[in-house]
Amino acid sequence: MFVRIATDSAQRPNSLRDLGMTSDSKAIVSLSEFSYRKGKEIYGEKEPAEYVYQVKAGAVRSYKLLSDGRRQIGAFHLRGDIFGLENGSEHRFTTEAVIDTTVRLIRRQSLETVAESDATVAKNLLSLTTNNLQHAEDHMLLLGRKTSLERVAAFLLEMDKRLTAAGIMALPMSRRDIADYLGLTLETVSRALSRLHEFGVLGFVGNTQRQIVLLDRERLAGLDLQS
């Protein structure tokens, strides 16, 4: 399921700064790195939440399988994002690599031990928990109240903040992933993207249409159209 890429302990990162966290104590910790092929599971729902993860390269999706067999994606974790931090002892979602992905991980117990004596690390963990809660609330609002076109527009605005480089938004996820994140069908997502293209809001780069240029962010943010 995984290939370990940091086998030499002398070369292994050992600072919380390597995990994207600040620390007062500059505690030495043990971080490991693993690589996952596209579509491979990182951890499963209800598995023990023993580690906290950070995306070093690639992208990860968190999802649940519903009782009717449908997949609901709860979040996409992109480069630099920390995920897998749970309130309980088990993971609530399954996570998979969207594309070939490398993650860093630290034992949750090690992180909590450092946080007990380091106020800055404790604040980092609180901030992560708060951000995760805010994302869950925003996602619930998106699924419950927005039209299909507004959902796609909101998704593009979210990805624009997190992904855009040199004016191009390179989406690692497929339209099926986007549909399962937004609670829509694949066909509805494709139609919405086509309409936004027709409106002159976005342009496509390349044959896969995963590279997008936002031509009118103001209009995208202010969309109030019926799907």
Q: Confirm if 101 and 80 have CB atoms less than 8 A apart.
A: no
List of residues 6+ apart from 187 with CB closer than 8 A: none
pLDDT class for 109, splitting at 50, 70, 90? very high
pTM of the model: 0.86
User: Could you give the angle at the alpha carbon of 45 between the alpha carbons of 159 and 178, nearest 5°?
Assistant: 25
What does the block give as tokens for 33?
């790195």
Q: Which residues of 55-84 are buried (b: 16+ CB within 10 A; e: fewer)?
A: bbebbbbbbeeeeeeeebbbbbbbeebbbb
Decide if pLDDT at 44 tops 90: yes
pLDDT class for 9, splitting at 50, 70, 90? very low
Residue 54 has a pLDDT of 94
Give me the percent of the chain exceeding a pLDDT of 90. Answer: 56
Please tell me which residue, 200 or 142, carries the higher pLDDT value.
Answer: 200
Residue 201 has a pLDDT of 94
Residue 195 has a pLDDT of 94
Residue 2 has a pLDDT of 39
What does the block give as tokens for 145?
């109240």
Decide if pLDDT at 29 tops 60: yes
Strand 94-97: give its sheet, edge to edge.
41-43, 94-97, 60-65, 71-77
Q: How far are the Cα atoms of 36, 37, 41 from residue 2, in angstroms, in the given order?
A: 5, 8, 9
Decide if pLDDT at 227 tops 50: no
Give just the sign of the alpha carbon dihedral 43, 76, 180, 182: positive
Domains of the chain, CATH where assigned? 3-143 (2.60.120.10), 147-221 (1.10.10.10)
Q: Confirm if 30 and 14 have CB atoms less than 8 A apart.
A: yes
What does the block give as tokens for 74?
């709860």
Q: Which residues of 134-153 are buried (b: 16+ CB within 10 A; e: fewer)?
A: eeeeebeebeeebebbbbbb
Residue 5 has a pLDDT of 39
Q: What is the average per-residue pLDDT within 34-54?
A: 96
